Chains A and B, each alone.
Chain A
Amino acid sequence: MKLARDTWLIFQRQLHLLLRNPVWVFVGVFQPVMYLLLFAPLLKPALNASTQAEAYKIFVPGLLVLLAIFGGLFQGFGLIAELRAGVIERSRVTPVSRLALLLGRSLRDVVSLLAQAVIITLLALLFDLRVFIGDLLLAYLMLALIALMTSAVSYGVALKVKSEDALAPLMNTVAQPVLLLSGILLPLAFAPGWLQGVARWNPFSWAVDGTRALFNGDIGNDRVWQGLAIITVLAAAGVFWAARQFARSVR
């Protein structure tokens, strides 16, 4: 009860501050739209897809997972600014739930990601992408869990390193192989065998496969529940670890 109330309190505050800054909202939508308009047209010939809609079915889910990963991983920067301003310390001397300090922030990130995802899906509809609403909602659940995990991890790491100079290279180093080994931009079906083998160890590759299956209307595909299960476990672990960082001394 207290956890829910405190989480809602922090969530409201963070969302309010986000919406007050329209520049951020613009930037958050601008980049994915550029991918959609300037990169996706290359895909039909590259993927040997029969129609443009076919290419979007493969690319849009990948793009959404990409946004969830990167959007989450770089949230830590905002937290470092809050640490520097003393806002976190001010919260920590109150009896507010430590888990709520994390969850309120991470849920704000999930909501802003889902808003981006909806805008991109709507735009993709203009390019003849068609997806069942039930499958789409399940895909959004996958995206929400990914964003929850990556933003929690990013906050936890931010509390540990406490400096933008350390956080930026660290997050880039993690994100790059994760991105390349997940088949986000091009399906790993094109990859040589050894690369596919390595990618099997990347949880995001399972998430991407699952999301693609959902966009393809293939809800019965094993990759759907496998991807959801893997990401759920990782998100829970990420939240648990990051909440402990909030509870521990920050000096």
Chain B
Amino acid sequence: MCVWSGDGDEMADGGLERGVHMIETRGLRKSFRSRAGRETKTVEAVRGVDLDVSAGEIFGFLGPNGAGKTTTLRMLATLIEPDGGQATIAGADLLKDPGEVRRRIGYVAQGGSTWDESTAREELVLQARMYGIAKAEAQRRAARALEAFQLTEFADRKCKTYSGGQRRRVEIALGIIHEPKIVFLDEPTTGLDPQSRAHMWDEIRRLRTDGMTVFITTHYLDEADALCDRIAIMDHGEVVAEGTPTDLKREISGDVVQVGLDPVAAGEVAKLLDGEEYVNRLETLDEGGLRLFVDDGATAIPRILRRIDGAGLDLRSIELHRPSLDDVFLTKTGRSLRES
């Protein structure tokens, strides 16, 4: 396994591990020309992306809309040609042999890919046959996929009659009908209700169990956290952080203890705690209370409580916040994913 390190030089040394990388990109770039009125502007959508995705992992590509996630994904899926850089996907060279890359990957677009007037079975058979699979085998695979995705019941109904979740399942089935080594899923749960979303997470985990490498883009933090073995955070066309969700969270120091107090008491407690060695930083909240940045919440809380109690002050509430991926995002990009 390739363990991510923040140090660029060590990444290059990861060459020993190359055999197990399903996706490996170096300096992948893409810019678009857009016309605004009379001026033509060049927008650098992706500015040099280096990624290493290991076999058998669910890799999450996280970032706000317009960060360059989809552009990167479309380059990896051979849909747009990179302006520069290199990429090897499932052992095939993206720039020199896109045809071979196509044979080895599956791709599920964000906006859907099924035709209203066709049935799921027809779509699956067609898709398999576009990969060069013979008719009888294509029909067998379609039946198997319908079964696996619990679609047999609707298999011969037109796609326009499906619910959002059913349709998304058909689309995932279309993406893997040829048993690719890697499947790219562009925002697979956008627009689904919470139940279908949970269902989809299970489906995606099942793909990994079946031995596939799964590359998803998402702008949901909880999704990246719950589903992905490793994530890369993209912002303004660049990867700003990469690692396991746990590592990334650990990297941005410690826990936050939020103490609810009335404003007068807050001032006094701030004075009491300011000198304590376990408090890294202290913020006074407008609505009353304090935010204390500590290394370890579990040991800090009893000590904080003792100080407040000792001073005879009234405590309204106390909460412990573990850092979330949003905090990671905030630290790396200077803004919250939720507000961007």
Contacts and interface: CB of A to CB of B under 8 A. Distances in A.
B116 A94 contact: no
Contact of A93 (B77, B117, B122, B132): B77
Given A85-B112, A94-B127, A95-B131, A17 B102 contact: no
Nearest to A21: B117
13 contacts: A9-B126, A9-B129, A16-B122, A17-B117, A82-B115, A86-B112, A93-B105, A94-B102, A94-B131, A95-B130, A95-B132, A251-B74, A251-B80
A96 interface: yes
Contacts of A92: 78-79
Interface string A83-119: 0011101111111100000000000000000000000
Given A9-B126, A249-B79, A90 B117 contact: no
A209 interface: no
Contacts of B122: 13, 16
Interface string A186-213: 0000000000000000000000000000
A9 B131 CA distance: 11
A13 B124 CA distance: 12
Contacts of A86: 109, 111-114
A94 B102 CA distance: 6
B3 to A, nearest CB: 31
A6 B133 CA distance: 11
B79 A85 contact: no
A90 B113 contact: yes
A17 B122 CA distance: 11
Nearest to A96: B130
Contacts of B80: 249, 251
Nearest to B178: A94
A94 B178 CA distance: 10
B267 interface: no
B132 to A, nearest CB: 7
Nearest to A95: B102
A211 B292 CA distance: 88
Contact of B78 (A2, A82, A91, A93): A93
Task: Say what secondary structure dominates the interface of chain A.
Answer: helix
B132 A90 contact: no
A49 B112 CA distance: 58
B81 A249 contact: yes
Contact of A87 (B77, B106, B115, B129): B115
Q: Considering residues B106, B107, B126, which has the most beta carbons from chain A within 10 angstroms of its beta carbon?
A: B126
B84 interface: no
B246 interface: no
Contacts of B157: none
Given A6-B130, A9-B130, A93 B115 contact: no
A82 B113 CA distance: 9
Contacts of B113: 85-87, 89-90
Q: Considering residues A2, A21, A92, which has the most beta carbons from chain B within 10 angstroms of its beta carbon?
A: A92
A90 B79 contact: no
A159 to B, nearest CB: 14
Interface string A136-173: 00000000000000000000000000000000000000
Given A17-B118, A249-B81, 10 more contacts: A6-B130, A9-B129, A9-B130, A86-B113, A93-B79, A93-B102, A93-B106, A94-B130, A94-B178, A250-B79
Interface in A61-97: 82, 85-87, 89-96
B205 interface: no
Contacts of B77: 93
Given A95-B132, A249-B81, A85 B116 contact: yes
A95 B103 contact: yes
A6 to B, nearest CB: 7
Nearest to B74: A251
B127 A89 contact: no
Nearest to B71: A251
Contact of A20 (B109, B117, B127, B132): B117
A176 B106 CA distance: 44
A87 to B, nearest CB: 5
Contacts of A250: 79
A13 B117 CA distance: 11
A223 B20 CA distance: 66
Q: Considering residues A9, A82, A93, which has the most beta carbons from chain B within 10 angstroms of its beta carbon?
A: A93
B118 A90 contact: no
- Sorted nearest first, the 10 A-B pairs with minimum C-beta distance are A86-B113, A90-B113, A94-B130, A96-B130, A93-B107, A249-B80, A95-B102, A86-B112, A86-B109, A87-B115
B174 interface: yes
Nearest to A250: B79
Contacts of A13: 122, 126
B109 A89 contact: yes
A9 B134 CA distance: 11
Given A82-B115, A85-B113, A90 B129 contact: no
Interface in A207-251: 249-251
Given A6-B130, A92-B79, A96-B130, A85 B114 contact: yes
Contacts of A87: 113-115
B153 to A, nearest CB: 21
Interface in B128-179: 129-132, 174, 178
